[in-house]
Every structure is written in structure tokens, then in C-alpha cells.
Chain A
Amino acid sequence: MFLQTFITYLLTVQSGYMILISCIHVQILRRAWKYQILDMSARMEDSQYSGQTVTLWREMTGLLIRDTNSMGGREVMKRSWRKRLTIGICLMMSIAALGGCSGDNGSAGEAGGDGPTPISIWMSMNTNASITLKSMNEITAIKEWEKKTITKIEFQHPAVGAETEQFNVMIASNQLPDAMFVNGDYAKLFNDGIIIRLNDLIDEYAPNLKKILDENPEVAKQLKADNGDIYAIPHLRLGEYKTFGGTFIRQDWLDELKLEKPETIEEWETVLKAFKEKKGVAAPLLFGAPPKMSTMGPAAPTYLEAYGITNNTFMKDGKVVYGPIEPEYKEFLTMFHRWYQEGLIDPDFATNDQKTYDAKILSSQAGAFFTFIGGGVGRYLPALQETDPNANLTATQYPVLNKGDEPLFTGRSWEWSSSGVVLTNSNKHPEETVKALDYFFSEEGHMLKNFGMEGLTYTMKDGYPTYTDEILKNPDGLSVAQAMAKHFIANYPFVGEDDDRYNEQYYQLQQQKDAAVLFSKYSENTLKVGLPPTSLTTEESTEYSKIMSDIGTYRDEMFVKFVIGVEPIENFDKFVDQINKFNVKRAIEIQQAALDRYNAR
């Protein structure tokens, strides 16, 4: 390994020097040429490259060497590649958009004769799957799906952590796959001419999905845009399980300190204080970080939501409201600032990433934190118990202000999770694509998606599909989530319908089963405050995202400043003023109009 690195290093340095020498050569030529015309190109080269010919070699040598260094970790290489790709594509964006070189987009040409139809699908790779597989093409169920539907699926995966970037670049360059699994602004994608309308295709080629939509008008209402258009083959959750995560607390510490599981904010404060003082925990309440740079993370809003508002737009008595400018937000900030000063929340909340987040939990430095029932608890609890057999986690109800209140926000998803597969305008086989995707809504496809192959990953016991040891006690030591991801697509969103029987078995540990019951208890309340999947017109969507992206950055920064205390809480009014200046009123109006249209559907 070392030798290989060394040789590659030598080679790249060598080629670096070659470039360097040729650059010097050019430099000398430049000096030698007396003619204005020739000097022009060199002059422009300077202003283009911020002048530094030095930079040129530096950039070049730097780029080359970067590759060698990143041999250390795949992640690093990906990141550096991603950046180069992004920059490169940005530069060429315009050429590509010209259409002059749109060329072949990766999917093979026309299907020859009776062979399988080639379909490319863009989709980000789930982390549980990426542990064992390079591409979703290797998933057992996908191979079976290809056979059943006579298609040849080619998955295109963006680099982990760069999904949005790569999606935007792909859209801008108009180099589209046949289909994309997205969770996005469907109406805008349609109006921009990127995706196609699916109504007629579904009527004709997706009998199974059509049947579900006919039987569940509420679901159809969510899926259809205001004008009745359908743009996505959806991922649906019709069953009972619609809440998948929440705050977990160290039950063993509660027992040790003889404390009750906290329900109200006040009780939480007592418990966190006890953790801090008696257990010496660095981060009694851990939050922040995942997913991606968001300073709020998923855990902090839980405590905000105890005040009856949330971090974004939501419904209050049927009207759209923006949480951070409501007076309750100030109360929350005051409370959270106090918690920060008293050391009850993780002091590093703003800089945590997934790694530090995990490390704090696994080294028993965190008392309570947000995680998902399946992938989170299933991973943390066994690992914790390995070092400390007494360690135990338990789910806590979403906190409230007063004893006896019912929590409003529970992270319950709608039947349509707003994600699904869209067909792009460069799809040459829309009928076959829709047919193939509809397979997952058939009885056979549904089983394949949720349970995999009979005999290999599940067996029928009294009509109940029971997972085999391949999934539950994987011989290669994979966790349940990882083993599932290797064989079928149940534990993350993809076209088709989730099956409750999968969730029942996915949650193997008692703590997980309890959590699912606990979190579901008040989940219906969320329907009263959560915005349904509304759809915006292109103009609205552009205006809305422009306003909200400024506000979002500002809100996140100020949240941190208020909590840390750089900005005194007295300045809350200024904060609200500034958000108003960003024209939050218009954004609310847009959402309200969309909500009214949704209700009129």
C-alpha cells in the first residue's frame, strides 16, 4: 500500500513538473513574442486566471496531487472529485445548455428487438445500502424486478452528501436520466420542461397504482397538483406507522437517579440538570448536526414545538404562519439560552457532524438525543450495551409546556411522503418505465419491495411474511437495517407502498417497539398543524424559494447567536423586523394561496 502510494506520488509530481515546464515554456515564448496579436492571448490568459501563471501550475499540480492524497479515504476522494466535477460542469454549463453537445445521456440507445428495455434512474444511495453495495443495481429485489418487468435498470447515484449540488448541476446542464427519484418541487420541474405529466400513462399502464388512488381519494388528493396533474410515481405510507423518530433518553441513568421520564419542559430541565450534575455528562441534551450543516438539527425543534410553533411555516387554525416570528419563539430562545448557559445542552451543537454526534452517544457523553427508531436505536443500543451492559435507551414523548397537554408536532408524515419517481423529458420509453414502476404496487411487487425473495429473506408463517435469519441475524454480521438494504428496499423511500408487517419486524428490540407505539400516540394531531403537500406555480415557487433561502440562512445564524448569547434576547424584535424586511409576508401569502387551492381540490 505504501509503495503504491509512493509510486503514484512520484508519478504525479513528475507530471506536475512536466506541466510546470511547459508553462515556463509558454512564459518564455510570451516574452519573446513582440507582436501585439500574440501577446493578446497571453494577456487574456492572465485576467482569466486571476493572472497567476504560478497559480496555473499550482492549480494543476495541486489537483493532481489531491488525488493521490485522497487514496487515504474514499470519502475524501469523493469530495474532491465532486468539487472538481461541480466546477467543471459549471464552466461547461452554458455549452451543454446550448444543446449542441447534449449527446447521449448514459442510457443505452433504442431497445433492440425483444431485449430488456434500458431505463436509467437517478437516485441518491441510502447509507445502509452503501455499506455492502456499490450501486442499487446489486440489490436482490432490483435484479428480480428487472427480470419480472423485462427492463434493464441502470441506477445513477450522486456522491453522498452532495445530492442537492449534483441534482442542481444535472438539471442545469440538461443531461437527464430517464427517471429520477426526487423529493422536490414537482410543478416547477414540470413547468421548466424537465419532467412529464403522468396522468395518461398511469391510466393506461399503471393499473395497480390507479386502483390504489381510486380507493384512497385522500391519497390521490395529496398526489395531484392543483390542476389534477400527476408528476410522480409515489412512495406511499398507507399503514399505521407514520412516525419514525423522536427523542431518546438514557433510561439507565433515569433509574439510577430515581427520576421519572420527563414530559414537560420543566421536567426536562430537572432531568438534564441531574444528568449534568450527578453524572457529569458533557452534553446532557445532544442536538445539531445531522442532517448536513443545519444548526437546528432535528432535535432542537422538538423543544421549540412544545411551545406550539415550529421552525418553519405551519398551520395555526387553518392559516399559514411562520414560526420564528411568533412571540413563542422568543420564549423558546430565552429558555434555550438559559439551558446553554447552565450547560444543559451540547456546547458544540453548532459544529457537530454525524461522526461527533455518534461519538458522543457511544461514549455515554449524551443524555438525550434525537434519532430514528429503526436505523438509529438499532445501531446505538447494541453498541452501547457492548461497553456498558446496563445501558438502556427509551423513547420520550414529544415534550409539552404543561402537564397533560397533547403534543402537536410529531414528525408524522403524510400518506404521500412527497417523494417519488419522475420521468424526464428525455425518457424514450415512458410506457415501459411506468409499467415497470407500477409493478411495485402489484401484490407480487409489493412483497418483493417489502420482504424480498421468499425462501431467501422471508418465509410465510400462517400467512405472515416472517424475515429469515439472513435479515434478522445476518451471518455476515450486518445489522437488520443493513441486511434489509442489501436485499430489498423497505427501510427507506422508494416507489411503492410501505407494509406495516415490515415495520413490526424491523423494530426488533423492545425499546424500538415501545417507541413506535409511543410516538404514534398523538401523531394524528400533526395533521392539524402540518402543511399538506401543496403545489406552487413556477412564479410562486421562484419567489418563495428566493425569500425563504435568505430567511433560512438568517434564522439559523440568529438562532445560534441567541442561544450562545452573542445576541441578547432583547434584540428579538429586531430579528423579527429583519425577517419582515425579507418579506416573509409574501412567502406566507404564497403558501396560504397554495393551501387554499389544496383544500379546494
Chain B
Amino acid sequence: MKELSNKLSLLWLNYKKNKAIYWMALPVVLYFLVFKYLPMYGVIIAFKDYSVGKGIWGSDWVGLQHFRDFFQSYYFWRILKNTLLLSFYQLLFGFPAPILLALLLNELRHEIFKRTVQTISYIPHFISIVVICGMIVDFSSRDGLFNTIIGYFGGQSSALLSDPANFRTIYTASSIWQELGFSSIIYLAALSGINPELYDAANVDGASRLRQVWHITLPGIIPMIMILLILRIGGLMEIGFEKIILLYNPNVYDTADVISTFVYRKGISESAEFSYTTAVGLFQSVINFTLLIGANRLSKAISNTKLF
């Protein structure tokens, strides 16, 4: 009790001191309250048989029925596998890519060249996902760019996006291409924070460029890498919904259908199973939450870097 009042008085003191900052933060706090926390109330319908006419409270409780239905569903393993695999590929190939680019850019001494490379690499990030997907669909059509290239090397042309075997590759590769440059900015920022004297010292000791990268640059950005990795793992189950919706078609559901697209189809676009899909969405969030906490713990144990 005493501790709490102590804390509160400290908070009050802090508020008086930094009034302006608190007020500046208010809109952000409100944003999260109104758009993120209030709607959470609707999660209740995952445990109810939601009927629009009866409203959220009026509908009947069904307990964990929707969760059981989902776990027993024919599509459960498929969408779980797809979600995890797509995320895993994104993590495996997509995560190190910007680090590598940042390291390479960091070694460049020619300012103009460096800037140009950087600008070109982050431009795709600013193109709308709708346009990007339009381009991908166009390029992978039977007479599109990719097929022209394949044909040039003597391959058979085929509708690339209608073959389940290609979806993961196309999805992951295009994501890397789109986000590579922009994601590397944060690493470049971290790199610029490394004390240049360390390099001078290393030079004096006769360390090669590679040695310098290994012993100075990389350790310098490890905390940043760890933090971003934790965040990334926290979102492991949450794979880009818009992009998949725009890219997939019933033929490639086999490899492309993920939890969020499944929720979208069942909940809004095909049938209107609100309760069921809320349950599925909640399942996804719970897993994400667990992964986030787990990754943070793990990172704390291993490298003493943590998010919270």
C-alpha cells in the first residue's frame, strides 16, 4: 500500500516536471485505447454463438465449442503449417538480408554510390502493396516477364501463380525485394552509433576489414538485431494478410492459405461465421503473445538483451 502511494507520488512529481511530454503522449494513448483496447471486448463472441439480432450479450454461450471445431477442422493443420512455414521462410531468408545489406553498404566508401544503392533498394517499400501484387501477378502470368526469362533459358512457360509449389518462393522472394532496403535503414542507424575510434584502434593493430566487421561492427549492432528478432518472432503467426489475399487463388490454397486469410474468407467474404472466425483469430493472437514472451525470455537468458 505504502509502496503504491510512493509510486503514485513519484509519478505525480514526474508529471509536474514533464507536463508537456505527458500531454503530447495523450493522443497516442487515446488511439490505443479507442482502436485497440475497446474492440477487444468483442472477443467475447469467440465463446458465444453470436447472432446479430441478439447482440453480443444476448447471444448464447457455447464455451470452447468454436475452438474445438477449429482444431478438428479438415483445414486446421494445413493453415497452421502454411502460416508457420511462410513466417519461418520470411524469418530465415528475410531477416538476415537487410543486416547483410547494411553491412555491405557500411563498407562502401564512395558516398554517392552508396546513397544511390540505398535509395534504389528502398524505393519498392513505398509502392503500395496492391500495385506490387498486381506487378507480381502480371510478371508470373503465362506470357509475363518471368516466363519470358524462363523461356529464354529453354524452360516451359506455365502459369506460375496457379502452381502451389511456387507460391512460397514467390511470396518470400518478393517480400525480401520489397522490404530489404527499408529494413536496412534501422541497422545503418545503429551502425552509425559505433565509436569510430574502435576502428582506428583496430587499424593500428592491423585488423583486416573482415576482422573489423566481425569484431566491431557486428557486436555493435547485436542489441538491435536481437530486439528486432524478438519483435519478429512475436509476429510469427501473423503473416501478411493483404498480400496473400491479393496473390492467391483457390488452386494454391494448399500452400498459400494462412490463418488470417482463412478468417477473412470464413468471416466476411464467403460465409459469415463471426464467432468461429473470432475464435480462430484469438487462437492466433494467443500463440503470438506466447511466442513474444518466450523469445524475450530466451534472448534475455542468452544475450542479456531484452525488450521489456
Contact = CB atoms under 8 A, between A and B. Distances in A.
Contacts of B32: 41, 44-45, 48
A578 interface: yes
Contacts of A94: 38-39, 41-45, 56
29 contacts: A29-B21, A35-B10, A38-B11, A41-B32, A47-B288, A50-B238, A51-B307, A54-B183, A55-B235, A61-B126, A68-B128, A76-B131, A91-B39, A99-B55, A168-B267, A168-B268, A172-B274, A174-B52, A293-B249, A293-B250, A350-B162, A350-B250, A546-B273, A549-B273, A550-B73, A556-B250, A557-B250, A578-B74, A581-B74
Contacts of A90: 267-268
A26 interface: yes
Interface in A33-92: 33, 35-39, 41, 43-48, 50-52, 54-55, 58, 61-62, 65-66, 68-70, 72, 76, 79-80, 83, 86, 90-92
Given A48-B36, A80-B128, A93 B242 contact: no
Interface stretch (A189-197, A445-453, A495-503): A189-197
- Interface size range on A against B: 35 or more
B152 to A, nearest CB: 21
A590 interface: no
The 9 closest A-B pairs by CB, nearest first: A94-B42, A193-B53, A50-B235, A51-B231, A66-B128, A69-B128, A192-B53, A51-B234, A168-B272
A559 to B, nearest CB: 9
Interface string B183-202: 10010000000000000000
B159 A347 contact: yes
Contacts of B162: 348, 350-351
Interface of B: 7, 10-11, 14, 21, 24-25, 28-29, 32, 35-36, 38-39, 41-45, 51-56, 73-75, 125-131, 134, 141-142, 159, 161-162, 182-183, 186, 228, 230-232, 234-235, 238, 242, 245, 249-251, 253-254, 264, 266-274, 276, 288-289, 292, 307-308
Given A51-B232, A70-B131, A76-B134, 15 more contacts: A22-B28, A38-B11, A51-B292, A70-B128, A76-B130, A80-B130, A90-B268, A91-B35, A93-B39, A93-B42, A295-B251, A545-B273, A546-B271, A549-B266, A550-B74
Contact of A69 (B127, B245, B269): B127
Contacts of A50: 231, 234-235, 238, 288
A22 B29 CA distance: 13
A164 B271 CA distance: 9
A184 B14 CA distance: 59
A36 B21 CA distance: 17
Contacts of B266: 549
Contacts of B253: 553, 557
B271 A549 contact: yes
B251 A172 contact: no
A25 B18 CA distance: 14
Contacts of B55: 97-99
A68 B128 CA distance: 9
Nearest to B14: A35
Contacts of A41: 29, 32
A295 B53 contact: no
Given A26-B25, A44-B32, A35 B11 contact: yes
A364 to B, nearest CB: 16
A169 interface: yes
A356 B54 CA distance: 45
A46 B292 CA distance: 9
Nearest to B257: A553
A13 interface: yes
Tell which of A35, A168, A169 has the most Cβ of chain B within 10 Å: A168
B230 A51 contact: yes
A52 B42 contact: no
A33 B7 CA distance: 13
Contacts of B308: 39, 43, 46
A560 B73 CA distance: 22
A55 B183 CA distance: 10
A46 B271 contact: no
A168 B268 CA distance: 6
A46 B234 contact: yes
B249 A351 contact: yes
A469 B161 CA distance: 46
A35 B7 contact: yes
B52 A172 contact: yes
A55 B182 CA distance: 11
Contacts of B307: 46, 51
Nearest to B276: A546
Interface string A288-324: 0000010100000000000000000000000000000
Nearest to A44: B32
Given A46-B307, A66-B130, A191-B53, A29 B268 contact: no
A545 B231 contact: no
A257 interface: no
Contacts of B127: 65, 69
B159 A351 contact: yes
